[in-house]
């Protein structure tokens, strides 16, 4: 099937150009002005709108079994909702239970994801350690296209990694050329504070942010960064929500350490007043970790994005509906942690980023797509509108408006943390693997059409990290006669 997108402006992370885009099968085959339509090609008139790489959400949890329940969004509904909002790839997480065979967990998640409508990949969480886990990391990187491992520093008594696991796993990942990622919250402190709050009779959702103050996140971010520094491994910190973790990343990057930071659309736009909402359900809808923060953190996070200290945006899309949230009715520690957003990320970031001048359109592409593709080593297959790239493309009307609501969204969740927000700048058309899967309200996703994306090990920054170590080694300094 051949598709020609005519009359648009291509926006990539590094250039903007008035150009047509020719797609043959699942690949982009030409980008340039005034392209002729090959015989039989379908022509899509972009009408002067922007043509951008589809979004990559590097942090989702579709149908995750978690805290005694299962996330309500499955791989089909979730990737479909993402497609409506302009996201054409997700990177989800395989999360083995402690002591569970890692390969068994991996194959379980691969089975669940068979129903995805757009492309996807998996980070694999390391939740415990022994020789079998070490071997599985080798198998996953060698035979299964996994190049990133996740470490939860929170959730004590469940999936939390202690420092011993971090050190073992970081060392192994470094040797395999895989990037380590961390959820940075000190789980020991969280457990301690939760106990104290419950003992004081604080059982409602307001206890959730009180048990996870920003210092808890800052400590863990700092610790992970220092461990990575000592072991000389690149590090990616997921969902930075506060000034403390941003400062930790900024310091490390200013010192030359290869540390990447992700921020969630929710943390940029929602503040902690939600936990004081008089309606228990509304407050509980916002229980996620790290929690939403006092407002001052939001502007700092935006500046972190602008300054390049944070490189990617995600959602941590992990939906639990109201009845599920009510599992913690008498105890906030039992409210399943997670909210939605995969459908809304691109819209809210365009509206609050580009329309306010915080981001240029090219910077928007960088932080919603290209940077994730680069860090997770799938660029330029993904993250760019260029010849040879996968035909994952969106057509974006910067003038169109849309009001976000649970009543009209396509996410399988009965509330929306951006409820009532009117955004200017809307995705009108989503192309996945060269097929139109969404156009002007018409959803054409196909269950199971999504492909698993292999991600090669040793992204280029691994070599850079190694060279820095070599240059700084005393013997090398001697050899260079310095």
Ligand X SMILES: NC(=O)NCCC(=O)O
Site string for Zn ion, 297-316 (x = CB under 5 A): -------------------x
Give how far the C-alpha of residue 360 lies from the chain's centroid of Cα atoms, to the nearest Å: 20
Write the interaction track for Zn ion spanning residues 62-101; mark x where CB under 5 A is met and - where it is not: ----------------------------------------
Phi, psi of 333, rounded to the nearest 5 degrees? -75, -10
CB of 376 to ligand X, least distance (A): 17
Question: Smaller CB distance to Zn ion: residue 90 or 228?
Answer: 90
Binding track, positions 311-340, relative to ligand X; x by CB under 6 A = -----x-x------------------xx--
Question: What span, in angstroms and rounded, lies between the C-alpha atoms of 295 and 293?
Answer: 6
Return the axis-axis angle of helices 296-306 and 243-254, rounded to nearest 10°: 30
Instruction: From 111, 138, 129, 112, select the one nearest 169 (Cα to Cα).
Output: 129
CA–CA separation, 410 and 80 (whole Å): 8
Say which entry of Zn ion, ligand X, none residue 337 contacts (CB below 5 to 8 A, set by partner kind): ligand X
Using CB under 6 A as the binding rule, the residues of this chain from 439 to 478 that contact ligand X are none
- Out of 11, 23, 53, 61, name the contact with ligand X by CB under 6 A: 61
User: Do 160 and 153 touch, CB atoms closer than 8 A?
Assistant: yes
- Binding-site partner at residue 289 among Zn ion, ligand X, none, CB < 5 to 8 Å by type: ligand X
Q: How far is the CB of 318 from Zn ion (least distance, A)?
A: 6
CA distances from 4 to 39, 212, 475 (A): 11, 50, 57
Span 311-340, contacts to Zn ion by CB under 5 A: 316
- Candidates 52, 102, 153, 288; binder of ligand X (CB under 6 A) is 288
- Stretch 37-56 residues interacting with ligand X (CB under 6 A): none
Shorter beta-carbon distance to Zn ion: residue 74 or 316: 316
The residue (of 320 and 396) whose beta carbon lies closer to Zn ion is: 320
Check: CB of residue 242 under 8 Å from CB of residue 219: no
Q: Which residues pair with 149 in a beta bridge?
A: 124, 180
Nearest alpha-carbon partner for 304 in 261, 347, 368: 261
What's the min distance (Å) between Cβ of 390 and ligand X? 27
Nearest distance, CB of residue 389 and ligand X, angstroms? 29
Task: Give the three-class secondary structure for 99.
Answer: coil
Which DSSP string corresponds to 426-453?
A: EEEEEEETTEEEEETTEE---TT---BP
Least CB distance to Zn ion at residue 338 (A):
8
Q: Is residue 343 near Zn ion by the rule CB under 5 A? A: no
Number of residues that bind Zn ion (CB under 5 A): 1
Q: Which of 409, 441, 383 is nearest to 57 (CA)?
A: 383
Pairing status of strand 50-53 against strand 69-70: unpaired
| Residue nearest ligand X, CB atom distance | 337
**Site of interaction with ligand X (CB under 6 A):** 61, 183, 288-289, 316, 318, 337-338
Per CB under 5 A, residues contacting Zn ion are 316
């Amino acid at each position: 099937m051949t598709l020609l997108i005519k009359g648009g402006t291509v926006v990539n992370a590094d250039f903007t150009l008035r150009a047509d885009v020719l797609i043959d099968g699942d690949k982009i085959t030409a980008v340039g002005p005034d392209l002729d339509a090959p015989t039989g090609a379908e022509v899509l008139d972009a009408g002067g709108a922007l043509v951008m790489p589809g979004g990559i959400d590097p942090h989702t949890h579709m149908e995750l079994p978690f805290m005694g329940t299962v996330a309500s969004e499955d791989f089909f509904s979730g990737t479909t909702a993402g497609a409506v909002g302009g996201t054409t790839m997700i990177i989800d997480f395989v999360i083995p239970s402690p002591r569970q065979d890692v390969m068994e967990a991996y194959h379980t998640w691969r089975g669940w994801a068979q129903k995805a409508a757009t492309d996807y990949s998996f980070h694999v969480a390391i939740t415990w350690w022994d020789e079998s886990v070490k071997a599985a990391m080798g198998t996953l990187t060698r035979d299964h296209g996994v190049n990133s491992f996740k470490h939860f520093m929170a959730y004590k008594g469940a999936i939390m990694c202690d420092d011993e696991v971090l050190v073992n796993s970081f060392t192994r990942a470094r040797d395999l050329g895989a990037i380590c990622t961390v959820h940075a919250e000190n789980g020991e402190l969280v457990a301690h504070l939760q106990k104290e709050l419950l003992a004081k009779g604080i059982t409602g959702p307001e206890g959730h942010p009180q048990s996870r103050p920003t210092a808890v996140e800052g400590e863990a971010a700092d610790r992970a960064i220092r461990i990575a520094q000592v072991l000389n491994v690149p590090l990616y910190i997921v969902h930075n929500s506060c000034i403390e973790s941003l400062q930790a990343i900024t310091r490390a990057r200013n010192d030359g350490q290869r540390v990447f930071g992700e921020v969630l659309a929710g943390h940029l736009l929602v503040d902690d007043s939600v936990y004081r909402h008089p309606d228990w359900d509304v407050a509980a809808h916002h229980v996620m970790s790290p929690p939403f923060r006092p407002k001052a953190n939001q502007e700092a996070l935006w500046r972190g994005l602008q300054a390049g200290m944070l490189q990617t945006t995600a959602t941590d899309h992990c939906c639990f509906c109201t009845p599920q949230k009510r599992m913690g009715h008498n105890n906030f520690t039992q409210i399943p942690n997670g909210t939605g957003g995969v459908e809304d990320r691109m819209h809210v970031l365009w509206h609050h980023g580009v329309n306010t001048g915080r981001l240029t359109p090219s910077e928007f592409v960088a932080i919603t797509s290209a940077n994730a593709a680069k860090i997770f080593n799938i660029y330029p297959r993904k993250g760019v509108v260029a010849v040879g790239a996968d035909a994952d493309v969106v057509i974006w009307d910067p003038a169109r408006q849309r009001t976000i609501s649970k009543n009209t969204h396509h996410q399988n969740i009965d509330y929306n943390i951006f409820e009532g927000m009117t955004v200017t700048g809307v995705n009108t058309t989503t192309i996945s693997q060269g097929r139109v899967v969404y156009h002007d309200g018409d959803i054409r996703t196909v269950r199971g059409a999504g492909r698993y994306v292999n991600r090669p090990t040793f992204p280029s920054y691994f070599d850079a990290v190694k060279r820095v170590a070599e240059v700084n080694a005393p013997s090398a300094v001697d050899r260079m006669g310095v």
